[in-house]
Amino acid sequence: MKMSNGQIGHRLLGLAVIGTGLALGGTAFAEVMGQPAPWEYKLQAAATPVMENITWFHNFLLWLITGITLFVLVLLILVVVKFNHKSNPVPSKTTHNTLIEVAWTLIPVLILVAVAVPSFRLLFLELDIPKADLTIKATGKQWYWTYSYPDNGPFEFDSLLAADKMPRLLAVDNEVVVPVNKVVRVQTTAADVIHSFAMPSFGIKIDAIPGRLNETWFKATKEGMYYGQCSELCGKDHAFMPIAIRVVSDQEFAAWIETAKKKYATNPANSYAAATPAAQ
């Protein structure tokens, strides 16, 4: 069926409107902090200095590779148009061009240096753990996390997926609570298989390995709820092993610590392991 120019124009206009709506909708959804959003096409909003640097480096590389790709495309089009047999029936017999040879050697070196310098700075920022204000130990288990606060008393608690809460597959029954604008050292290990502690908004991802203690850190600059997941294939319920961290003020954190000491140190029923038949 043939369409008139007017019909084609209306359809193109409709597609443009839909595309614009999706783009604006994606931007609006992407402003949600601490969790993935529908139609999100970029990194989650940064909540730590490390994640801010990761986002900057990602955007820098995106613009760089886009420029390189467009430059190569222009060269290819130029070669096809200018040096085909019809346009250039007598090919050049030039074998050396000092300027071009220097350029195609020097320019890639400069590009690699431009990539290497900020990448090394970012790696150093991620791996050099500053003096911590708080330490949290996260132990991966099949399929939940156990948390303890070594600096704040002998208590620990299990954190399991809460199927009746939102956001779906990310909410938990017991959240990790940390103070805002404080350096938090996260120590990870595992009790069974390899897990991975990943929190996108914080820019951290580190393996939890049985018999080994790994460390990473974050400094959350914004209060709120942040969600992550185990990002290692650790068994059949790997997809149901979320991480939830609530960032609060210093006063709220101090109050939570006092409550947690009583709740988790004196009530073994809060432990998932204690409630399993194997542990009874």
pLDDT tens for 26-54 read: 444 445 788 988 888 889 999 999 999 99
pLDDT of residue 1 exceeding 90: no
- Is a pLDDT exceeding 70 seen at residue 18? no
Q: So what's the pLDDT on residue 267?
A: 53
**Cα dihedral sign, 188-195-56-119:** positive
Scored b (16 or more CB within 10 A) or e, 165-193 reads: eeeeebbbbbbbbbbbeeebbbbbbbeeb
Q: Which of 197, 49, 45 is nearest to 125 (CA)?
A: 49
Question: What does the alpha-carbon distance between residue 237 and residue 244 come to, in Å, rounded to a whole number?
Answer: 17
**What digits encode the pLDDT tens for the residues 213-236?**
999 999 999 999 999 999 999 999
SS3 of 120, please? helix
Query: Edge-to-edge strands of the sheet including 204-208?
Result: 176-179, 242-248, 224-230, 195-199, 204-208
What's the angle, vertex CA 191, arms to CA 185 and CA 195, rounded to 5? 65
User: Which tens digit of pLDDT belongs to each residue from 121-135?
Assistant: 999 999 999 999 999
The amino acid that residue 64 corresponds to is: L
Beta bridge partner(s), residue 244: 227
Confidence of residue 14 (pLDDT cuts 50, 70, 90): low
Q: Are the C-beta atoms of residues 237 and 143 closer than 8 Å to each other?
A: yes
Domains in the chain: ranges and CATH = 49-82+98-127 (no CATH), 134-268 (2.60.40.420)
pLDDT over 70 at 90, yes or no: yes
Query: Could you tell me which residues come within 8 angstroms of residue 89 by beta carbon, excluding any fewer than 6 positions away?
Result: none
Show the tokens assigned to 243. Answer: 């991480």
279 pLDDT tier (thresholds 50, 70, 90) = very low
pLDDT of residue 95: 78
Of 203, 205, 162, 182, the closest CA to residue 253 belongs to: 182
Q: Is-above-0.85 flag for pTM?
A: no
| Sheet architecture: strand order including 144-148 | 156-159, 144-148, 134-141, 184-190, 214-218
Residue listed under structure tokens 């019809």? 86
Q: How far apart are CA 228 and CA 245, in angstroms?
A: 8
